[in-house]
Chains A and B, each alone.
Chain A
């Protein structure tokens, strides 16, 4: 049996890769992929601890299945949003999407309101 720290180190690397992707990539699809990496790092942890603790009911593996289902739903939703963003903004560069910013420009705010 392999020692516990192997999968933990792997999960840690995967999670860091995910965080880096979410924070640094400019392409929205790549950001979504990075989120997937983070989720799967967690899944790896769950499976590893499940095996290590010899859980009789395998709650770690069950939880992993749940996470996979939720991740599938989330990626569906996320891709739909990315698609809409692509249509309205003619691009999926996250740096271009700054509507959340606090602006002096009252007209722009009203315009955004009217668009909604």
Chain B
């Protein structure tokens, strides 16, 4: 338990120290930021060690905040789920901090950047170990504001500012539902502690509509935070932020927090079939839609962003069909390979000076380390044997098949939907991964591109090893303290997805070869434009929400000016007029004043005499 506190506090202290040191000594900031992350990582390993594969949790409350109604307890809990998430979050944070030392070497805003990254990690680890929904909410919202600051790191760029505001507003919209979900569950259970709520669900005290309403409201926040349909548009627009930040947001914090929350309150969610069905539908729509969008993008980071949205859809799909362990495993392996892909994309951006796919090509000889590691990352993303992503995706699809045949928490219909969408997404994922890989590393491209420094290559190699070997987690299905019913390895699904991946890659390669190293996305033909515009969801939101709000604002301004203002000015003018009349008596002559005083005294004396007699 105390190790869990160290995990959070080390990052929080690093944050304060980085801000305090500031520009006085940037080398010191580098040491503090990376050192804080390292301390936190070691503490996370110590905290996680006893809990991996153990269903028992250790928890404790440190303080009680008396609110007048249900008290808020500053309570922490470490169990198997928290343990693996702690290790994931702190590992990626450590990799990102080390990488950022080189990536933002000449950046004038490095101290504040490092500080906010530390706060970001502290917030995520707080979410992971919180046992009270309000403590969790603190970390949850702190991540929201940190993502805002980090996305707008280059605030002189208008798209960075717009992306930051968009990310903040969309996640905030979901968080309104989230807050009310906390109220609903907390007031129904008589406690905001997660363990009490889970106990209430298990004992049957909490059941029926209240659980469904609570779960659906919480789902609003989850959908916003994890960029799922219909609040999915913020994540790709968050790309103007520095690339290591994308790695942090996409791999280990922020979007992972949504998946973590569903897993943390899995008892609540799985007690409501309606919530699970909604989750399954959202996940299916998101995973397929986002993968299709990724296929048509011209920017490497945008491809990766949509792939994150799509992979998060897999995780939610897995959780919705009852594949708890499979979903979390995919979160872990995705954390490794997506951090790898983004950090590698950072090396490319550093070398080429752009993240546009058109600006890249033929980089395999100039950037050998990036080539090998990114190949492993793309292979894991596409689900190629024997990379980590293959096994966990297989586990999710296997769980979906099992739920479709035998019934799961979301019902058979939605399980079929998850399965079919999942298989289709396998095809699309392989296509867009292969396309991006071909466009970056083959064909013609710029010359004289430099590989990053060892500080940038080191995290890449470590993450590549994890990505390549991470698949062994399926050999330990009890990692999260429970053994999944259908197991984690499914031979028929594995063979089917491998065939689909091969087919998809062959088609993509065929197009690429046919077009003489051209962009295979051209073959999408008429579909390409709507896909590249992401089905105009943003435009639809613009028409449905932004413009009505803007015209309402304009109407308010007009009303204020033409209706409200005359009354305000009128009352002011009346007071002025009255004041002018009263001022006439203020002559400045002392004798006039004295005359009034004498007359007043005389009048009082006379009236006193009258009353007395």
Contacts and interface: CB of A to CB of B under 8 A. Distances in A.
Interface of A: 19, 22-24, 94-95, 97-102
Interface string B129-143: 000000000000000
Looking at A19, A97, A100, A102, the one whose CB has the most chain B CB atoms below 10 A away is A102
B594 A23 contact: yes
Contacts of B203: none
Given A19-B598, A23-B595, A23-B598, A102 B590 contact: no
B591 A98 contact: no
Interface stretch (B113-121, B256-264, B535-543, B581-589): B581-589
Contacts of A102: 583, 586, 588
10 contacts: A19-B598, A22-B594, A23-B594, A94-B589, A97-B588, A100-B588, A100-B590, A101-B587, A101-B588, A101-B589
A23 B591 contact: yes
Given A22-B591, A94-B591, A100 B598 contact: no
A98 B589 contact: yes
B598 A95 contact: no
Contact of B586 (A24, A97, A101): A101
A94 B593 CA distance: 13
A94 B598 contact: no
Contacts of B595: 23
A115 to B, nearest CB: 16
A79 B600 CA distance: 28
Contacts of B583: 102
Contacts of B590: 94, 97, 100
B575 to A, nearest CB: 15
Given A22-B594, A94-B590, 13 more contacts: A23-B591, A23-B594, A23-B598, A94-B589, A95-B591, A97-B588, A97-B590, A100-B588, A101-B587, A101-B589, A102-B583, A102-B586, A102-B588
A103 B587 CA distance: 9
Contacts of A23: 591, 594-595, 598
Contacts of B588: 97-102
Nearest to B580: A104
Contacts of A98: 587-589
Instruction: For the complex of A and B, list the 3 residue pairs with the smallest distance between their C-beta atoms, beginning with the closest.
Output: A101-B588, A98-B588, A102-B586
Nearest to A22: B594
Contacts of B586: 100-102
A101 B590 CA distance: 10
B594 A95 contact: no
Interface in B588-613: 588-591, 594-595, 598
Contacts of A101: 586-589
Contacts of A100: 586, 588, 590
Contacts of A24: 591
A95 B588 CA distance: 9
Nearest to A96: B589
A63 B330 CA distance: 101
Contacts of A22: 591, 594
A102 to B, nearest CB: 4
Contacts of B598: 19, 23
Nearest to B602: A19
A94 B591 CA distance: 8
Interface string B560-591: 00000000000000000000000100111111
B341 to A, nearest CB: 69
Interface string B106-117: 000000000000
A95 B595 CA distance: 14
Contacts of A97: 588-590
B586, B587, B588, most chain A CB atoms within 10 A:
B588
Contacts of B594: 22-23
Interface in B245-275: none
Nearest to A101: B588
Contacts of A19: 598
Contacts of B587: 98, 101
Contacts of A95: 589, 591
A19 B598 CA distance: 8
A85 to B, nearest CB: 12
A102 B587 CA distance: 7
A73 B586 CA distance: 30
A53 to B, nearest CB: 22
Task: Name the residue in A22, A23, A97, A99 with the highest tally of chain B Cβ atoms < 10 Å from its Cβ.
Answer: A23
A1 to B, nearest CB: 29
